[in-house]
Amino acid sequence: MRGRPRGRQAAPTARAPPPLDSYGRVRSDGTPVDPATYDYTRAARDALHFSKLVDRFVQNLRRFVGYDVQYFAAVEPQRRLAPHLHMAIRGTISRADLRRVVAATYHQVWWPPTDRVVYSGERLPVWDAAAGESGGYLDPETGEVLTTWDDALDRIGLDQTAEPLHVARLGRQIDAQGVVADSPQSRKLIGYLTKYLVKNTAECHEPTTGRQREHVNRMVEALRYEPCSPTCANWLRYGVQPKNPRKGLVPGFCKGKAHRPEHLGYGGRRVLVSRKWSGKTLTDHKNDRTAWVLARLAEAGIHVATPDPTRPFVWERAGPADPDVKSPDRRLLHLINERIRRREQLERATAPELSATAREAA
């Protein structure tokens, strides 16, 4: 919908930039028809790099339309467990232009290859504090230092036939809708955007059948040994030292967010908001939150001492020899106590009042 119908501003919304491509046929409950041929490896890698793909989509869209596109988006998994993006875009962009940008958007992952397992089981690299500048991992049999992360990337750069480890692309389907501001449709889509914000990724579609639980387990297992970042412990499995290695790394036990079952490979933020979406700075938002809290406390009759803006103040940094400066541990305890007190005040101010009947029943 375009223009300004009935004096109201049109706010076109791309409800859902396309999902990721297919990994195999799935049933209505999201489980694969044939788990043996379902491409779990590609599904895991797409999930791991989905946030980068979204960044590239926004970058390409801004370059294509020629202005700084502002957006609000939420990431949620589909029934097949692939990450999916719902995005509200301020401004008017045609569906044809969106499809062109989607078709041209991809993200290449230029990481070392992972097609050959070098270390597994009990045979794992060992840590040596004397290896390299700050320690490194050695082959358990030969004692040879494993290839460092920088050297592995240099080899890729020098190899004219090298290919990216993975290329993530958006799917072909796209659902773009023009939405008029302050309309029943806009309120419905706002609810659609925000309904998943308080849930973990895995909670959006909780498995209820044995077939769905098996699908989740296979996805988690596919993610177990996939490197999630340059610092991932899984690189040791493929004979490469992670970036900035440290003692105690074990392949298959990376502590990265993306490897946790509740995140299903997606390690990015659930809510994506462009900086100019609201038209306010971080200071403006901070002042708005402060004003809201003070207003709620005032309504509840709770007085909060605040500096009088009409009176002049001179702020000076207190030195360690200042008699008014307490010890660090006492200052920390004071801040904790003040934070607890403020939270209790706000909870009292915003708690719903019980009726006389409800109080008697309680």
User: For 274, phi and psi rounded to 5 degrees?
Assistant: -70, 155
Q: Are residues 194 and 329 in the same domain?
A: no
By residue range, what is the domain housing residue 86?
A: 5-273
Q: Is residue 313 part of a domain?
A: no
Predicted TM-score of the model (pTM): 0.73
Q: Identify the residue with better confidence: 324 or 332.
A: 332
Q: Are residues 167 and 112 in the same domain?
A: yes
Q: Are residues 74 and 208 in the same domain?
A: yes
Q: How far is CA 114 from the centre of its chain?
A: 25
Taking the C-alpha atoms of residue 17 and residue 31, their distance in angstroms, rounded to an integer, is 22
Q: Are residues 48 and 72 in the same domain?
A: yes
The angle formed by the CA atoms of residues 140, 143 and 144, to the nearest 5 degrees, is 115
pLDDT tens digits for 57-109? 999 999 999 999 999 888 888 888 888 888 888 888 888 899 899 999 999 99
Q: Are residues 286 and 258 in the same domain?
A: no
* pLDDT-based confidence at residue 19 (cuts at 50, 70, 90): low
- With a pLDDT cut of 90, the percent of the chain lying above it is 44
pLDDT tens digits for 174-187? 888 888 777 888 88
DSSP secondary structure letter of residue 72: E
Q: Are residues 231 and 164 in the same domain?
A: yes
pLDDT tens digits for 276-327? 777 777 788 788 888 888 888 888 888 777 766 677 777 778 777 787 788 8
* 237 close to 119: Cβ distance less than 8 angstroms: yes
Average of pLDDT values for 23-44?
92
Closest CA to 258 of 42, 39, 50: 50
Give me the pLDDT at residue 319, please: 77
